[in-house]
Amino acid sequence: MGCNTSTAAKPEQKVVKQRRRLSVGNVDLNEVQDAEDHSTEDDRGLIAQFSQQNLLDLIEKDGTKTGSGRRLSSIGSTTDQNATSFANKSMQQLGDELNASKHGIGYTCRKGLKPESPNQDSWCMLKTENFSIYGVFDGHGQKGHDISNFIKDVIPKLIVKDPRSSKSEWSPVLMDTFKKAQSMVNTSDKMKQRLAHGTSDTEHLLESDGMKAGPSVAQKPQTCWDRCVKGCCRCCVVFLAVLNLLLLILFISLGPAGFTYYLAVLRIALYGYGGAACMASSDGCRTAHGFPGSDTDSTLTWYDEQVRLMEQLPQRLQSGEAYRSNELGNVRINDLIWPDIALGSNESVHSRLRPVYDALWGRGASTWTKESVRAGARAFIAGVNGTFTVSKDISKWVELELHNVSLGYTLTAEQLERFLDFQSSAPLMLTMPEIFNFVLSRLTSVQDFISTRQQLVQEYADIMARDTRGLFSNISASFRPTMASALLDSLTFAGGLSIPHALTSVFALMYSDQSPAGEAKDVSKLSDEEVERFVFEAVRLFPPVIEFPWMDARDERRKLMIQMKALRDPGVWGLGAEGADAFSLKPLEKYQNYSGITWVEPANGPQKEGHRWISTPTSRGCPGQDLSLAMIVGFVQEWRHMQHDWYVAEQPEGGIAFTGPAYFTPPVASPFTLLNAQMSGTTATVAIHDHASNKFTVAHVADSTAVLGTKTGSQWKGVALTRDHKPNLKDEKARIEKAGGRVVFDGYANHRVYAKSARYPGLNMSRCLGDLLGHQDCGISCEPEVTSFDIDNQKEQILFLCSDGVWEFIAPQEAVDLVCHYSYLEAQQAADFLAKEAWDRWIREEGGAVVDDITVILVYLNH
């Protein structure tokens, strides 16, 4: 340890066995070549300028500004106009005037000795009153310069926009930032490939911070009607007109009841059951008033009365005074197409099914936890590319999660599409009048639907027979089809429709210009508990289950409790601007005791624990209410963290009730930064200095090492804050091999990562950003390691962030010794000196043949 003022007397650094250079080895897989690529260093500078200016605009527009006097300074890299091999990426100043050297900051980013290759390194610095961000990024692969440049632009934006930044929760902020950045690279790469294959879809591309780039252009997916019109407009119109006319004549001939039935079928055909139910309301389900139908006795009572009726229901069902039947709203389920709704039917069947449902979905079930649900939502959101369609994509996640919980089974993409097609057809199919069954049974579409239903029931029964989780051991072989049918009913209609409906309402409240949620609509600023309250309030105002029906055995009339009125009871929710009819976040305990989800619990029976009713085989309350709530809340909580900066590209026309916006477009890379990241990537080392706590938090992937130099007495000591992510490390190798990759010594200096039966990607690092094939096939990870340290106010300290162009021939302690005699006012001279020394050693060791790109950031702490 010490502080040497000269390196002249130092012995030459010998080449170590574990060499860092050549990040990507020889491979036998050619990258997809760009059809036309005219990118230059000047282009990169223009892109950097455009993106960083957006950052400043973004900060001001998003309300990050804490006061009129708030000052923010941003420094980014651009490129000098000269084209020498020793090109220096110079400072680009944005925001307030800031002299970096006066703040103890030195930096340099120099291109290596390879004229045909652009500078692969990039860097960023951003300084605010509350915190500072420093980052170094070293690209590798054919397009590594694009990846590193892209990452150095998006990472500061993601950090600044994360609401947890205001709370100094830096470790989770950095962890999620790296993952989101990787997701954005993945999306941008896919867009690049689509354009390369002739799909001109640039209108859908947005600037990476999620801000709108040009007009709103996300297009609605084609509906069946769209395809019909495009295929044969005249045929479709004539056929549908004739069919509707015949149906209308038939039902009018049956009298008022028939006409009501016809309208109900038409509504369900056009809008689905939820939309039809709201259309049957006098004001689109915005209040409790409606007209259920001429054959129904509606119970528009307040909360206490409905709870009393629910408490009586299990006993009345057991005694035979009431019964549940296959009634659905204003129409009757067609027994040809859907012969049984097992759950909730006769008492003997129900008593055998209910314990299984409780074991699958109930409180304390072994099949799910709130954490596992959130993890599933997080993985799904991170994997979304392109346009996110609320109804369709939410339904995808819901069915993936419900099938996993209910059957321990992960649907393939093909199986998922088959199920969603089946689900979308079900409401219309099963409500077709039985009077037409002779004709319906001969229609190909109906036969296909019935066949698909039979296949699904058989597949579910087969999974139960295997019973890998030991949850169906009490189900006999003869009863499995009934259990499978009950599950199919629940996955198709109950949770399969109610959870997406509730989430759609939540998204409407979050994004609609007409949202009554006010400032609370920005869930990115809400805590986990506040998100839960937000969801409860959304479900209260726009419940997915609007009514609770049963049949009265005495007069064979349907009894229908309208849940909306109980959820608008002023005796429970209060009067005034924040009362029963207004959106406002009530205390969580209020929702837990009185919400629409807990409201149905009295139907579970007389036994009670606190405010919760205990489920038994005779219970008639919803068995999946806790799982449903966990899925809705968990999805929104993860959305808040991961995609809170998405924006509404287009709102649907003629929305039913308060269904809200249907289409969202994620922050895809802009047309300026379309990436080819299949086998190109970058390191990333990012440090955040929290000014209030005087603490540094460092996150990194790969091998751009961070070093802390500390002076104790007269001696300086250099300590690496990060470890190089190398494939031969025990834990890294285990992860790679578990994912199907392999680690091979290249016979020269490095261990490299390859796919199991191929010679790609050949990386000498186990973690990085980009390198999509490596992540997909080999276990390469984008998850950073995060560490924090307190700045010692009693000692001089220097933070080093450098690419491996520095560390190839200079050890951490030696780097500290080389610059420690420079004062903080000489930070820039210190950075230049360290970079020059690294350059000279490359020339000396490699005989002038090779010099890697060299980036140095020095931050003198306590100044």
What is the full DSSP assignment across 503-540? HHHHHHHHH-TT-TTGGGG-GGGS-HHHHHHHHHHHHH
* DSSP H or E segment with residue 500: helix 495-511
Secondary structure percentages of the chain, helix, strand, coil, to 5: 45, 15, 40
Residue with tokens 């200096």: 749
CB 701 within 8 A of CB 781: yes
pLDDT in tens, 187-241: 777 656 544 443 333 222 222 222 222 222 223 333 444 444 344 444 555 556 6
Cis-peptide, bond into residue 221, ω within 30° of zero: no
The number of C-alpha atoms within 13 Å of 220 and in the hemisphere containing its C-beta is: 13
Interhelix angle for 144-161 vs 41-61, to 10°? 10
Is 660 strand, coil or helix? coil
Could you give the percent of the chain with pLDDT greater than 70?
65
Q: Which domains does the chain have, with CATH numbers?
A: 41-210+671-860 (3.60.40.10), 224-665 (1.10.630.10)
pTM: 0.51
Residue with tokens 């129409």: 331
**Average pLDDT of 99-111?**
82
The confidence band for 564, taking pLDDT boundaries of 50, 70 and 90, is low
**More confident: 489 or 265:** 489
* DSSP H or E segment with residue 388: strand 388-389
How far apart CA 336 and CA 356 sit, in angstroms, is 27
What are residue 701's phi and psi, to 5 degrees? -130, 145
* DSSP H or E segment with residue 753: strand 751-755
Centroid of chain to Cα 112: 38
pLDDT for 271 equals 52
When the pLDDT of each residue in the chain is averaged and rounded to a whole number, the result is 74
pLDDT for 252 equals 62
Please state which of the ranges 172-181, 210-219, 379-388, 502-511 shows the lowest mean pLDDT.
210-219
Which residue stretches of 725-803 are H helix? 730-738, 772-777
How far apart CA 223 and CA 232 sit, in angstroms, is 14
pLDDT for 462 equals 96
The confidence band for 45, taking pLDDT boundaries of 50, 70 and 90, is very low
DSSP secondary structure letter of residue 100: G
How far apart CA 244 and CA 728 sit, in angstroms, is 70
DSSP secondary structure letter of residue 658: T
Using a 10 angstrom Cβ sphere, with 0-12 exposed, 13-18 middle and 19 or more buried, the burial of residue 699 is buried
**More confident: 79 or 153:** 153
Using a 10 angstrom Cβ sphere, with 0-12 exposed, 13-18 middle and 19 or more buried, the burial of residue 64 is middle
Say yes or no to pLDDT of 596 above 50: yes
pLDDT in tens, 818-831: 999 999 999 999 99
Please state which of the ranges 281-295, 625-639, 728-742, 763-777 shows the lowest mean pLDDT.
281-295
The number of C-alpha atoms within 13 Å of 615 and in the hemisphere containing its C-beta is: 25
Could you give the percent of the chain with pLDDT greater than 90?
35
What are residue 101's phi and psi, to 5 degrees? -65, -30
pLDDT for 786 equals 98
Using a 10 angstrom Cβ sphere, with 0-12 exposed, 13-18 middle and 19 or more buried, the burial of residue 588 is middle
CB 835 within 8 A of CB 75: no
pLDDT for 317 equals 77
